[in-house]
Amino acid sequence: MNLPLTRFAILFNSQIPEAEALAGKISAFMETLGASIQAIRTIEDKTLRQPIKKKEFEALIVLGGDGTMLRASHLCASAHMPIIGINLGSFGFLMELQRDEWEAYLPKLLKGEYRIEKRMLLEAEHFHQGTSRGSWLVVNEVVVCRGQHVRPIRLDAEVNGHHMASYVADGLIAATPTGSTAYALAAGGAIMPPDLRNIIVVPVAPHLSPDQPIILNEGASVTISVKTSHQAVFSVDGHDAVIMEDGDSVLISSSELNSHYIRFRDAGYFYRALNRFMEQNPSLNQMR
């Protein structure tokens, strides 16, 4: 049991046709139960940053897919604000509820009948000639990879300042347990339980190089350096790529912040849900 939640904002993905109408329907439903809906906005709306920072509401209800949930996680992490996701997308690995479940489960929030699942976040810092060029909060993964030229690059990985491995590959992924079910999984990585606090390092199309994913100890950091005569880039959670020059590096370490996801089911549900995702890929169904 947790404290009852009564003040909410609803964020929805404007690219999903039914999302806005459903947001209004959920708002009306929650208000009949005595909840206060402080705002209904698209996930792209930047005006919510300040209300979230000031904690003008207690939790965020998010309508969309995993991409929508990633954006909400970036918004809410520094405020330690919990998020409940309702899946209107394809996979919904991060979402707690399917589109036909919200009416049965959302009333539990007002009774404190939920748990909070804390998920590890990373921090990625880009260095050029020893000088920091910026840092980013990471929910899923950092990808250091080749740029516009279709040729592999040389990548060196250090763990806690000590050489781990060198790769000739299309790229290298450093992912959280949350990100282990995203790009890292597609590249052959292992699925990690969400409560772990380890980084998994996964090579992408390695050529005569180490080809196995490596799970680092809890608290370890990894530095990925590029050695290349052509363009290399890195990207955080699928955002716009940042160009890297020869000798540049990205330091990836655990963040002091966490994502806070609202859950109604027991922790073992993660494993039971994997069967549904693995045996019936909704993305394939859409292509048929």
Integer Cα distance of 76 and 53 in angstroms:
8
Indicate the residue type of 237: D
Q: Which residues pair with 42 in a beta bridge?
A: 12
Integer Cα distance of 53 and 55 in angstroms:
5
Q: Give every CB contact of residue 232 below 8 A, 6+ residues apart in sequence.
A: 144, 145, 146, 147, 153, 226, 243, 244, 245, 246, 248
Of 200, 195, 196, whose CA–CA distance to 183 is shortest? 200
The Cβ of residue 286 has, within 10 Å, a number of other Cβ atoms equal to: 8
Active-site residue (options: 66, 170, 237, 248):
66
In this structure, are residues 112 and 3 in contact, taking their beta carbons and an 8 Å threshold?
A: yes
Active-site residue, 66 included: yes
Query: Among all residues, which ones are annotated catalytic?
Result: 66
